[in-house]
Amino acid sequence: MTSTACFIIVSRNDIPIYEAEVGSAAKREDAAQLHQFVLHAALDIVQDLAWTTSAMFLKAIDRFNDLVVSVYVTAGHTRFMLLHDSRNEDGIKSFFQEVHELYIKILLNPLYLPGSRITSSHFDTKVRALTRKYL
Amino acid sequence: MPPAAPRSGDAIFASVERVNAELFTLTYGAIVRQLLTDLEEVEEVNKQLDQMGYNIGIRLIDEFLAKSNVSRCVDFKETAEMIAKVGFKMFLGVTASVMNWDADGTCCSIVLEDNPLVDFVELPDTCQGLYYCNILSGVIRGALEMVAMKTEVTWIRDMLRGDDAYELQVKLLKQVPEEYPYKDDE
């Protein structure tokens, strides 16, 4: 069940505002950087693709070796990007939807500046629990 | 005509005009955020919220007395019960409870289990000393001052700081007798 996955949230200005690395990768150090590099490289593709469809979930948009990049774009053009090796598309869609709800609650906090880093440990705990549940 | 009986908090809450809770919460959040941007110092924001609450309280007391038809409270204990049961219910829709009375009956705690002002709020690290609901302490202080009681209201527990409830300590400093604005002998 535990698979490698890297989840980042990128704001509309292409600034990463949240990162979470989950999974049982053997070599953690360079794997983490590689994952983030792959996800950032996929941002260009996301930008083009986001305007072609009105759906929020963009499914798998890029591949790297055996890892797949799936992306979910919110109404405010905040991108949730997931690098994973599982094939469970429905699970990933539900994961994105639940993270979206958590993200909305963060946005409703008047003391949170949209586009700034998400530092809430509560959010972090919840997201990690969701990754264990769906991935 | 016999005087109307005092109405319960629930009855009044059901009869007044209400506003969407999210709109209320978001508006209050916007006020606090703007104060933080303008004043920058957390202590200053606390003071300003208290002052704003005071200005609201001195006007709110009239509406409270008009809608609730309560008679003069016999002592401070009754006053505190009125605030917790009728006042909070009427204006915020939540019921508070009064506890921790001290020996002379001049100091008590009003405890709020839930608070509509703080839905979705989390204090970031830069605002650690902020009393987000300080407006409430100002409201109570202002309202009581208009009915001849000088009080001091402070926060004992605050859920945004990790406690399990909101607790306000209301301390009666003195009863101020009514003063006429003109002298009798003129």
**pLDDT tens per residue across span A51-109:** 888 888 887 888 888 888 889 999 888 999 888 887 788 888 999 999 999 999 999 99
Domain CATH for B135 = 3.30.1380.20
Which of the pair, B3 or A132, is modelled with greater confidence?
A132
Query: Is A116 an interface residue toward B (CB < 8 Å)?
Result: no
Model pLDDT, residue A35: 80
pLDDT band of residue B38 (cuts 50, 70, 90) is: very high
User: Across residues B44-72, what is the average pLDDT?
Assistant: 91
**Nearest Cβ partner for B33 among A105, A111, A122:** A111
Q: What is the mean pLDDT of chain B?
A: 87
Residues spanned by the domain of B150:
9-175
What is the pLDDT confidence band of residue A3, given thresholds at 50, 70 and 90?
A: low
B181 belongs to a structural domain: no
- What's the gap in Å between the CA of B32 and the closest CA on chain A? 8
**pLDDT grade, residue B52 (50/70/90)?**
very high
- Name the region of B26 (left: φ>0; alpha: ψ -120 to 50; beta: rest): alpha
For residue A29, what pLDDT is reported? 66
- At residue A133 the predicted structure's pLDDT band, cuts being 50, 70 and 90, is confident
SS3 state of residue B35 = helix
Domain ranges, residue A105? 5-134
Interface test with B, best of A105, A109, A113 (most B CBs within 10 A): A109
CB atoms within 10 A of CB A71: 24
In B51-122, where do the E strands start and end?
A: 96-99, 107-112
Question: What is residue A12's three-state secondary structure?
Answer: coil
The pair of three-digit structure tokens given for residue B134, joined into one six-digit string: 């300080």
- CA atoms of A112 and A106, how far apart (whole Å): 7
Could you tell me if residue B184 is inside a domain?
no
Whether residue A111 and residue B125 make contact (CB cut-off 8 A), yes or no, is no
Average pLDDT of every residue of chain A: 84
Supply A76's token pair: 């405010």
Domain count, chain B: 1
Confidence (pLDDT) at B152: 92
Going by pLDDT thresholds of 50, 70 and 90, the confidence category of residue B72 is confident
Binned at pLDDT 50, 70 and 90, residue A6 comes out as: confident
- Residue count (chain A): 135
Give the A:B interface size as CB pairs under 8 Å: 31
Rounded-to-integer distance, Cα B59 and Cα B51, Å: 13
Give the model confidence (pLDDT) of B104-158 as tens digits: 888 999 999 889 888 889 888 888 889 999 999 999 999 999 888 899 999 999 8
Q: Do the chains contact at B124 and A122, CB–CB below 8 Å?
A: no
Percentage of residues of chain B with pLDDT beyond 90: 38
| Residues in Cβ contact with A96 at an 8 Å cutoff, skipping those fewer than 6 apart | A56, A57, A70, A72, A80, A82
A25, pLDDT greater than 60:
no
Structural domains of chain A, count:
1
pLDDT at A1 over 70: no
Interface test with A, best of B20, B122, B159 (most A CBs within 10 A): B122
What CATH code is carried by the domain that includes residue A52?
3.30.450.70
Residue B4 lies in a domain: no
A2 pLDDT above the threshold of 80: no
Q: Where are the alpha helices (DSSP H) in chain B?
A: 9-15, 21-39, 42-68, 76-81, 88-92, 134-146
Both tokens of residue B163?
């406690």
Of the given ranges (A14-28, B90-104, B112-126), which has the lowest mean pLDDT? A14-28
